[in-house]
Amino acid sequence: MLGGQSDIIDELHTRVVIPLYPASRLSTSPVKRLTPVISVEGYDYLLMTHEMASVRLSQMGDAVMDARSSRQSIKSALDFIFDGC
């Protein structure tokens, strides 16, 4: 699960998250712009941006990586969902 919300809004007890799906389990070709690939601890995962959700902070574990290097592809996927462009 990728936290997709800024920490600036820290008074909320929830965070918007994007589920991750192991790329190795994929049997069909995804919409690449909608599901960018990121690497976590040496494994590739698809960001399932179309399955975003809100979860309580108490349900989230510790961070294992910083995804800032994938920021542009993540924002592009979100633009694709919300604006179609």
Domain holding 52, by residue range, is 2-83
CA gap 14, 5 in Å, rounded: 9
- CA distances from residue 5 to 31, 48, 71, 75 in whole angstroms, order as listed: 23, 15, 12, 12
How do residues 55-74 score in pLDDT, each as one tens digit?
Answer: 888 888 887 778 888 889 98
Q: Whole-model pTM? A: 0.77
52 pLDDT band, cuts 50/70/90, is very high
pLDDT at 79: 93
Contact between 44 and 20 under an 8 Å Cβ cutoff? The reply is no
What is the per-residue pLDDT across 15-39, written as a single tens digit (0 to 9) for each? Answer: 888 999 999 998 787 788 899 999 9
The domain that holds 9 is classified in CATH as 2.30.30.110
Backbone φ, ψ for residue 60 (5° rounding): -95, 140
For the chain, what is the domain count? Answer: 1
